[in-house]
Amino acid sequence: MPKRKSEQPLENALIETSPPTKRVRIDDVPDEELPVANGKTTQGLNGDIKASYDTTALKTAQPEQTDDDVESEAEDDTAPVAPLRQNAPTEGYSDLYLDTINRSLLDFDFEKLCSVTLSNINVYACLVCGKYFQGRGPKSHAYFHALEVDHHVYINMETKKVYVLPEGYEVHNKSLDDIKYVVDPKFSEEEVKKLDKEPKESLDLAKRRYRPGFIGMNNIKANDYLNVVVQTLAHVAPLRSFFLLHSFPHTAPQLPVRLSTLVRKLWNPKAFKSHVSPHELLQEIALRSSKRFTLTHQSDPVDFLSWFLNNLHLTLGGSKTKPFSSIIQKTFQGKLRVESQAITAKSDETGDRLRFEESSTINTNITPYLILTLDLPPVPLFRDAIESKNIIPQVPLTSLLQKYNGLNALERQSHRVRHRLLHPLPPYLVFHIKRFSVNKFVSERNPTIVTFPSPRGLDMSPYVEPNPAIHPPGEPIYYEMVANIILDTTSVSTGGGEDSNAADAANKAAGAEGQKVAWKVQLRDKAAAHAQRPDLPEWLEIQDLFVDRAEAETLFTRESYLMVWERRKEKPKMANGSDKGKRKA
């Protein structure tokens, strides 16, 4: 208010600065309360008494209304009001906002972290855009997201309950069951029993066909070494059944929990997409291994498998001293007898030569194993360009297994060592074919091809010490191949720059400088073999997102690096020696 001048009358200043008076609706005022203007009243034609006003003073005192005042009044009338929280939807509106859900944008494979706070506590996923937010209260990020971008449907990633925000009520609608199943697939015992007996094909949202259990996995940067190992473990029947059916408590370690979630998503017959991402499992592995295995640096699948199996054994309650204390050891662990004999060097009578003598003392140790290493013969230094048999060296798998017959000795430094397998053999045997050797000067890769007569029959009885109490002598012990991790190399020039980081990391991991390394896995579909359907291949080759057909006759033509063999179940025999399950003619 401006300061009043001394010569200005006080009455005029009050009239100019006082707010305008509100107009009175005369029609709503009762007749007995009619105001009197200047002491006079008037009577209308119908006998109604009306007052006459002197509006001159009102016109002079009321200022003109500007456009800014009209806009401010309109803003006051349309100010947003915080929506009321509801315990239940309004009657007749139970399916409100459900048509805004976009299933093609939903991807629950990534780690459940809030996109704002990076917290993993009380995380909700927006079913419209797929982003993660923490909480659903009036001050939570999911609440503000619903107000800002008009996304209203959210699912709790732990309880699988669906809510509508900002109202906050829970939605009970059967149309959301497919989303809840994709978040956390569940299997029954009957469904697990049919996985290896009844082949099944499914369709994703894009109408692409896929076979549950044989789907691709994302290679985020250089995590194909992990993809092939997880694919292999997901097809080991005891482990697969355990992780599909076992329910972990909330206090369980995250390593087996996240592996269980990934295995269930690999076998999900109702998936929205025909591939999965191991991002959530990779984050836990990088944390637990102190970044020894990450998604940005290539690693050796054998090193990772050894670390992974031992950590799974411990996190599942296994003991370091008690054997067969977890599902890991019950599946892969066996016993091996190792005999070592020291070799000493003595000078002869003349003193000009050294004589190597074997010690009469033989140290015998029985050690457990999860992975059996097979040594390849050295590559010929001079290759024959005419005879093709020496261009790519080949060696039978049975020749490599002679290492465990207890007769062939290996010289390691100052000791001579013999190995012998003991009964009982584990249900699954893992063979590591040692292809890489690193010394002070160079890293070499042995490209020798390991051949085997058939993936359906490998007799292990010649390499096991007889034990009549466990297995009858002379009877074969057959194993069938389940998975075969192979090495695929392509000659490239390792130049500088960011594009060669992944290739350089793979070269260092595989010991093959100047070559880009990729890992693939060949998996056997037992259901297709059991159903004997010619339209479905028995073997499939998977490299990251690519799933191709593989033929059983050409499996041995690739550079095998890790093999998993399953012990064939022996048919029970009757007293007369005939098979119990043999049908009568």
Residues 6 or more apart whose Cβ sits within 8 Å of residue 484: 455, 521, 522, 555, 558, 560, 562, 563, 564
Q: Is residue 92 assigned to a domain?
A: no
Q: Would you say 163 and 176 are in contact if contact means Cβ atoms under 8 Å apart? A: no
Residue 78: the pLDDT is 47
Residue 352: the pLDDT is 58
Indicate if 531 and 392 belong to the same structural domain. Answer: yes
Higher pLDDT, 306 or 35: 306
Peptide bond into 89 cis (omega under 30): no
Exposed / middle / buried, residue 429 (Cβ in 10 Å: 0-12, 13-18, 19+)? buried
Q: Would you say 211 and 189 are in contact if contact means Cβ atoms under 8 Å apart? A: no
Indicate if 103 and 57 belong to the same structural domain. Answer: no
467 pLDDT more than 60? yes
Percent of the chain scoring above 90 in pLDDT = 47
**pLDDT band with cut points at 50, 70 and 90 for residue 490:** low
Listed residues 315, 345, 371: the one ending a domain: 315
* Coil, helix or strand at residue 95: coil
pLDDT digits (tens, 9 = 90+) for 332-381: 999 999 988 887 766 566 655 655 555 567 788 999 999 999 999 887 77
181 pLDDT more than 70? yes
Residue 245: the pLDDT is 94
Average pLDDT estimate for 26-53: 44
**pLDDT band with cut points at 50, 70 and 90 for residue 45:** very low
| Angstrom distance (rounded) from CA 191 to CA 520 | 28
Q: Is residue 470 assigned to a domain?
A: yes
- How many separate domains does the chain show? 4
Indicate if 300 and 387 belong to the same structural domain. Answer: no
Indicate if 117 and 46 belong to the same structural domain. Answer: no
Residue 323: the pLDDT is 87
Higher pLDDT, 154 or 555: 154
Radius of gyration (C-alpha) of the chain in whole angstroms:
40
Average pLDDT estimate for 121-143: 93
Range of 129-133, 490-494, 497-501 with top mean pLDDT: 129-133
Higher pLDDT, 325 or 349: 325
pLDDT digits (tens, 9 = 90+) for 214-251: 999 999 888 999 999 999 999 999 999 999 999 998 88
**pLDDT band with cut points at 50, 70 and 90 for residue 6:** low
Indicate if 484 and 553 belong to the same structural domain. Answer: yes
Kind plus residue range of the DSSP H or E element containing 320: none
493 pLDDT more than 60? no
| Angstrom distance (rounded) from CA 132 to CA 125 | 4
Distances (CA, A) of 76 to 22, 68, 71, 84: 19, 12, 9, 20
Q: How far is CA 39 from the centre of its chain?
A: 91
Indicate if 299 and 446 belong to the same structural domain. Answer: no
Residue 13: the pLDDT is 55
Indicate if 278 and 306 belong to the same structural domain. Answer: yes
Indicate if 290 and 262 belong to the same structural domain. Answer: yes
CATH of the domain at 116: 3.30.40.10
Indicate if 398 and 474 belong to the same structural domain. Answer: yes
Average pLDDT estimate for 111-134: 93
Indicate if 368 and 486 belong to the same structural domain. Answer: yes
79 pLDDT more than 50? no
Indicate if 51 and 121 belong to the same structural domain. Answer: no
Residue 52: the pLDDT is 44
Indicate if 371 and 483 belong to the same structural domain. Answer: yes
Q: Is residue 36 assigned to a domain?
A: yes
Q: Is residue 575 assigned to a domain?
A: no
CATH of the domain at 562: 3.90.70
Kind plus residue range of the DSSP H or E element containing 339: strand 334-347
Q: Is residue 465 assigned to a domain?
A: yes
Domain that holds residue 14: 10-63
Listed residues 262, 284, 315: the one ending a domain: 315
Q: At what angle do helices 254-266 and 237-245 cross, to 10 degrees?
A: 100
30 pLDDT more than 70? no
Average pLDDT estimate for 319-330: 91
Q: What integer best gives the mean pLDDT of the chain? A: 79
| Angstrom distance (rounded) from CA 163 to CA 86 | 11
Q: What is the DSSP string of 255-278?
A: HHHHHHHHHHHHT-TT-SSSEE--
Residue 43: the pLDDT is 46
